[in-house]
Amino acid sequence: MEYVGTALAETTMPQISPLGGEPIERADAERLAGVLKALADPARLRLLSLIQSAPEGEACVCDLTAPLGLSQPTVSHHLRILTEAGLLEREKRGVWAYYRLVPTAIATIADLLTPPRKRATKKAR
């Protein structure tokens, strides 16, 4: 079973964290903001949660409409946004598409938003 996705989160994420101590480039900030915008929706956050907790870590649109209480076209729209942001991978099986999380996408975002630890300095005695 091979999943195909855009994996934009892996390929276009900035290398420098906005909290890393160096100014982030405008283009990098725009790319990160695009991914964060994809996450900043309650239905999309629920979709990520439902897919991650599904058996085998994958779900079909047909499995996601009832728990969300949204129509199939609306769920498909949200899944497309998450896929284009590189957060989900999509595999077409017959008439249905199955989705799973991109393993490194959320970790990459978390790393970019986690400030680096300050080095502890020893006091001279």
Per the domain annotation, does 69 fall within a domain?
yes
In this model, does residue 81 exceed pLDDT 50?
yes
Residue 28 lies in a domain: yes
Q: Is the pLDDT of residue 2 over 50?
A: no
* Total domains, the chain: 1
Owning domain of residue 53: 8-112
- pLDDT tens-digit map of 10-42: 445 555 555 666 777 788 788 888 888 999 999
Q: Which residues contact 62 (CB under 8 A, 6 or more apart)?
A: 72, 96
The pLDDT value recorded for residue 20 is 60
Q: What are phi and psi of 94, to 5 degrees?
A: 65, -125
* Domain contains 118: no
Residue 85 lies in a domain: yes
Domain at 53, CATH number: 1.10.10.10
Dihedral angle, C-alpha 5, 104, 10, 70, nearest 10 °: 50
